[in-house]
Amino acid sequence: MMVFSLAVFANSSVFAQDDDDDDDDDMSSEEEMDSDQWQAQMDEYTAKKADLTAQLATLNTEVEQLKFGLQTRTNEAENSVNAVWAAVGSRSQYEEYKGKFADAEKKIAACKGPDDAAAFEKDVWPYLTDAGINARMKCLPEFWDRYNAMKKKVADCKALAPKTEGYTVVKGDCLSKIAGMSKIYGNSRLWPAIWDANKNGVVSAPPKVKTTIPNPNLIYPGQVLKIPALTDAQKTEALSKTSSYKKVRKKKMSSDTGTTDKNEVKKVTPPTTK
């Protein structure tokens, strides 16, 4: 029993010694700073604070400079905008011009030929280009490229060949009657334009029916006539021919004391079908 007791006591003493050794290790790991070390670390942190404070001051100065530059440029931009409005007109004039400009783009997009282009140049184009302030308004970046594109479309539309449509002659027709139809020209005096387009050849004709119209008085049922689209200049020319034909006829009838030359009458009276 004594031996067993001694052995237990010895082991307990070993464990106690191990615990004391662990406590000594923890205390040795926590090194205490002396006053010099503390002061050195404080000096280091103080220097870092001073450096960061200087950097912050520099950044604040740069921010203020940027704010000043931004305000300066904002003022310059506003002055430029005011100068533009002074040159091109008021905002209300701008809004009006903007709306009409968009309408003009739609109209020229629907252009089908020289007549449409001529009407556009007469009725729409002057407002966009020749109306004082509006002539400058088109120079705004919003309109300038679109204006040039529209100008090109006008030129392209003027260069389009007039579309020619066909009309089939029926019994009782004559060139003046055809020209006077609302679906043709709506003006019977434009019949010379139809004759000029068909005198050397119609679109088609039934068998044994002439395919040319050398005499405007002689057209035949079944002939398909060319009905050319006319420019203003061509309309004026046709009307002039009508007037000249009437003068020739009147002069001829007067010189014959009331009798007419049948061959001459055929050239100047409104044509009829045979």
**Residue 209 resides in a domain:** yes
Residues 180 and 269 in one domain: yes
In the predicted model, is pLDDT for residue 166 greater than 90?
no
Name the nearest CA neighbour of 144 among 93, 91, 88, 96: 88
In the predicted model, is pLDDT for residue 17 greater than 70?
no
Residues 6+ apart with CB under 8 A from 129: 135, 138
**Residue 52 resides in a domain:** no
Residues 205 and 149 in one domain: no
**Residue 150 resides in a domain:** yes
Residues 172 and 245 in one domain: yes
State the total domains in the chain.
2
Q: What is the mean pLDDT of the chain?
A: 80
Residues 220-268: tens digit of each pLDDT? 999 999 998 888 888 899 999 988 887 666 666 555 545 444 433 343 3
Residues 195 and 256 in one domain: yes
Residues 184 and 265 in one domain: yes
The pLDDT value recorded for residue 104 is 92
The pLDDT value recorded for residue 260 is 43
Residues 185 and 247 in one domain: yes
The residue with greater pLDDT, 92 or 49, is 49
Q: Which range, of 77-81, 159-163, 226-230, 263-267, averages the lowest pLDDT? A: 263-267
Residues 169-197: tens digit of each pLDDT? 999 999 999 999 988 889 999 999 999 99
**Residue 198 resides in a domain:** yes
The residue range of the domain holding 124 is 91-158
In the predicted model, is pLDDT for residue 146 greater than 60?
yes
Q: Taking the model in full, what pTM does it have? A: 0.40
Beta bridge partners of residue 225, listed in sequence order? 167
State the Cα–Cα distance between residues 173 and 164, nearest whole angstrom: 19
Residues 120 and 194 in one domain: no
Residues 169 and 257 in one domain: yes
Beta bridge partners of residue 166, listed in sequence order? 226
Name the nearest CA neighbour of 128 among 112, 109, 148: 148
Residues 189 and 268 in one domain: yes
**Residue 64 resides in a domain:** no
**Residue 20 resides in a domain:** no
Which residue, of 139, 158, 177, is where some domain finishes? 158
Residues 145 and 210 in one domain: no
Which residue, of 128, 158, 188, is where some domain finishes? 158
Residues 99 and 144 in one domain: yes
State the Cα–Cα distance between residues 253 and 255, nearest whole angstrom: 6
Q: Which backbone phi and psi does 39 adopt, to 5 degrees? A: -65, -35
The residue with greater pLDDT, 252 or 139, is 139
In the predicted model, is pLDDT for residue 19 greater than 80?
no
